A and B are shown apart, each in its own frame.
Chain A
Amino acid sequence: DAMVIQNPRYQVTQFGKPVTLSCSQTLNHNVMYWYQQKSSQAPKLLFHYYDKDFNNEADTPDNFQSRRPNTSFCFLDIRSPGLGDAAMYLCATSRGFGGGTQETQYFGPGTRLLVL
């Protein structure tokens, strides 16, 4: 059973053309995260939502925005994609309380973004 779902799995966009990636979860987790992962590198946290509270990483470019309209869905908007934004984008969720393994993050399959 899919728990964290990302659509589409592959996305091709043009330089400067806005693009939205989506993530949904069936786990009813409080926290949702967006990571960017470039080839052979570690996932880099862009931002996360704790319920409706948005938390942006200090070094996340303004070009990246996020929306969480409800518990289940979270979107990543890239306003003007550049060639350097080509990467795998991973969505993850966690319960957000309890500590320890309760805080395990569950990842979706990722969306691979190609910018032409």
Chain B
Amino acid sequence: GQNIDQPTEMTATEGAIVQINCTYQTSGFNGLFWYQQHAGEAPTFLSYNVLDGLEEKGRFSSFLSRSKGYSYLLLKELQMKDSASYLCAVDLGAAGNKLTFGGGTRVLVKP
């Protein structure tokens, strides 16, 4: 089976930094995606990693270590609108780009 683990919930203060970890054990690997999902809405793409290292995109950064089966999403200068669920998803590399999602991490940003 495929295992993708994330913490269920995290709380942080506006303006702070939060790091969301994701560990995976999958039958294949062709990259890892992070999506943001606000309550009742569809997931939206945040970042993609396929090589080891850090990808920075404005206030959001994502890191990957393939040898450790580990990724994290770093959210800097937190804003209230960042309160959402963050989904880690692994591209298994099968035909048609099948993604397996982790359970998501709900981030609550407090004033």
Contact = CB atoms under 8 A, between A and B. Distances in A.
Contacts of A40: 104, 106
Interface string A43-85: 1110010100001000000000000000000000000000000
Chain B residues touching A, range = 20 to 34
Main secondary structure of the interface of B (DSSP, over half): loop
Interface in A98-116: 99-101, 103-110, 112
A99 B31 CA distance: 9
Nearest to B31: A100
B82 interface: no
B44 A100 contact: no
Contacts of A55: 95-96
Given A88-B40, A90-B43, A105-B97, 20 more contacts: A31-B97, A40-B104, A42-B102, A42-B103, A43-B43, A48-B98, A50-B96, A55-B96, A90-B42, A94-B97, A96-B96, A96-B97, A100-B31, A103-B97, A104-B33, A105-B45, A106-B45, A109-B41, A109-B42, A110-B42
Interface of B: 30-31, 33, 40-45, 48, 50, 87, 91, 95-104, 106
Interface of A: 4, 31, 40-45, 48, 50, 55, 88, 90, 94, 96, 99-101, 103-110, 112
